[in-house]
């Protein structure tokens, strides 16, 4: 076991990985790393430039122009794209689809892999994403696959977007979520799946605090 403790939390879109992992990290005194934010930043860059993200070569051609940095400001993770804080922009629905598209490109995953591992080598971390336990941190001390029914996940995402003033329907959010589930689980590069040694945690019937306690309990139990 390494000097530092690493916890990998994977799962589909809308499972609450980021909010639950962030809260659990706060309770346990770990550093929280939202790896999906890095892919969203790459997607945001390509989206702004009008890149055809179905063409892997077009996406790869942008990588040398992209500089990413994660900073903690007042206890919150902020993502900087070419020295500009894009923490809000990367959460837009259209950037969710862009993130899914660029994450299927092997060269993008390779470019971000070292950054994620270096963070884990130097901190006690809870890192969430879609391939943390299978690819990024295959030797993580604890692996959790966090999930919930598609309807529950869509409802959570819908409420979040409406609270931000986005004009969307539940059906649109559910369709978008189902498409992302399919794309993420069928991509050639590091498809979404639970690691063989991961514990599956279904939060369908739990509220936020109960979900956080479930995750904290699983981590303590395995450590």
**Per-residue pLDDT tens digits for 53-87:** 999 999 999 999 999 888 878 777 789 999 999 99
85 falls within a domain: yes
**DSSP-assigned letter for residue 169:** -
Q: How large is the average pLDDT for residues 141-161?
A: 94
Is 172 contained in some domain?
yes
Decide which of 189 and 154 is more confident. Answer: 154
- The phi, psi pair for 154, rounded to 5°, reads -65, -40
The verdict on residue 50 lying in a domain is yes
How far apart (Å, rounded) are the C-alpha atoms in residues 99 and 90? 9
Q: Where residue 146 falls among pLDDT bands split at 50, 70, 90?
A: very high
Range of the domain at 45: 6-222
DSSP, collapsed to helix, strand or coil, labels residue 25 as: helix
DSSP states along 102-166:
HTT-HHHHHHHHHHHHHHHHTS-EEEEESSIIIII-TT-SEEEEEE--HHHHHHHHHHHHHHTT-
Whether residue 1 lies inside any domain: the answer is: no
On the question of pLDDT at 2 being above 60, the answer is no
pLDDT, tens digit, 9 for 90 and up, residues 86-122: 999 999 989 999 998 999 899 998 999 988 898 888 8
Q: Is the pTM of this model over 0.85?
A: no
Q: Does 101 reside within a domain?
A: yes
Tally of structural domains, the chain? 1
Closest among 116, 144, 113, 201 to 9, alpha carbons compared = 144
Determine how many CB atoms are found less than 10 A away from the CB of residue 176: 20
For position 78, which CATH number holds? Answer: 3.40.50.300
Residue 200 has pLDDT above 90, yes or no: yes
Give the pLDDT of residue 118: 86
Assigned token pair, 115: 């950054």
In a domain, 77, yes or no: yes
Whether 212 is covered by a domain: the verdict is: yes
Q: Identify whether 152 is part of a domain.
A: yes
Identify the residue whose tokens are 């979520």.
Answer: 177
Please report the pLDDT score of residue 174 as a whole number. 95
């Amino acid at each position: 076991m390494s000097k530092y403790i690493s916890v990998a939390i994977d799962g589909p879109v809308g499972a609450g990985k980021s909010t639950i992992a962030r809260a659990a990290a706060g309770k346990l005194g770990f550093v929280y790393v939202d790896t999906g934010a890095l892919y969203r930043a790459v997607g945001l860059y390509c989206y702004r430039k009008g890149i055809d993200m179905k063409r892997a070569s077009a996406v790869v051609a942008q990588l040398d122009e992209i500089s990413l940095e994660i900073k903690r400001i007042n206890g919150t993770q902020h993502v900087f794209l070419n020295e500009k804080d894009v923490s809000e922009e990367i959460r837009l629905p259209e950037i969710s689809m862009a993130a899914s598209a660029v994450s299927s490109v092997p060269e993008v995953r390779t470019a971000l892999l070292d950054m994620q591992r270096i963070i884990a080598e130097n901190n006690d971390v809870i890192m969430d994403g879609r391939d943390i336990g299978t690819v990024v941190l295959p030797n993580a001390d604890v692996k959790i696959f966090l999930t919930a029914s598609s309807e529950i996940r869509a409802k959570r995402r819908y409420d979040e977007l409406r609270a931000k003033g986005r004009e969307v329907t539940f059906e649109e959010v559910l369709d978008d979520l189902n498409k992302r589930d399919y794309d993420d689980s069928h991509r050639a590069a590091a498809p979404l799946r639970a690691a063989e040694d991961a514990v599956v945690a279904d939060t369908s019937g739990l509220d936020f605090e109960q979900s956080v306690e479930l995750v904290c309990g699983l981590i303590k139990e395995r450590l």
